[in-house]
Amino acid sequence: MTEAHSAVQRKDEKDVKLFVALMSVLMIVVAALTVGSYSGYSPNPSSVAITGFVLLVTVLITAVWYRTKYPEYSRED
């Protein structure tokens, strides 16, 4: 099996991956703190909203990081 690699040089991504990991922990902590031990069937909309917001911000910042790190890159091979 031969491995085909991208034409664009792969760069160091440790910083963005650390950011993703930290934000992931933050999101779970936010969800756990805001919903508490509630185990019923009617979730708190504010808890869902803040949890989802943290996640979407993480996704968007990660997207900006990659678009900045690899400008105009879109894999075609």
Partner 1 sequence: MSLYANSYSIRHKYLIDGYDLRSFRSVVVGLTLSGTAPLWIGIFIGAIIGGLAEIWGISNSDVLLKLSKWEDRLFINCIAIAIGAGAVLLYGLGALGVSFHFGIKPDYVIGVALGGAIFGTGVAVSGYVPGTEWMALGEGRREAIYAVFGGLLGAASWTVVYQSSVGQWLVGTFNLGQVYLAGKAGTDLDTGFLVAIVWAALMFGVAYYLPRYSGGKSCVYMATHPSREMTQVELREQQETAKSLTKGSAMPVGDNDHLAYSANNHWAPKSDLRWLLTFVGVIIGAVVVLEMFLHQIFGESTTYSWVVGYLWLPSYSYSQLVFKTIGWEPYSDIGTLFGAFLAAVFVSRRFQAFNRWIPSTWQARFGASELTRDIGVFIGSYLVLFGARMAGGCASGHILSGDLQMALSSIEFFAIVTASLLITGRLLYGGTKGVKSK
Residue 55: helix, strand or coil by DSSP?
Answer: helix
- Apex CA 18: angle with CA 63 and CA 74, to 5°? 30
Give the C-alpha distances (Å, rounded to integers) separating 60 from 55, 64, 74.
Answer: 9, 6, 17
Residues 5-44: x where in contact with partner 1 by CB under 8 A, - otherwise, as a string: xxxxxx------x--x---x--xx--xx--xxxxxxxxx-
Q: Per the structure block, which two tokens stand in for 70?
A: 């690899």
Site for partner 1 in 43-62 (CB under 8 A): 43, 45, 47-48, 51-52, 55, 58-59, 62
Give the residues lining the site for partner 1 (CB under 8 A): 1, 3-10, 17, 20, 24, 27-28, 31-32, 35-43, 45, 47-48, 51-52, 55, 58-59, 62-64, 66-67, 70, 73-77
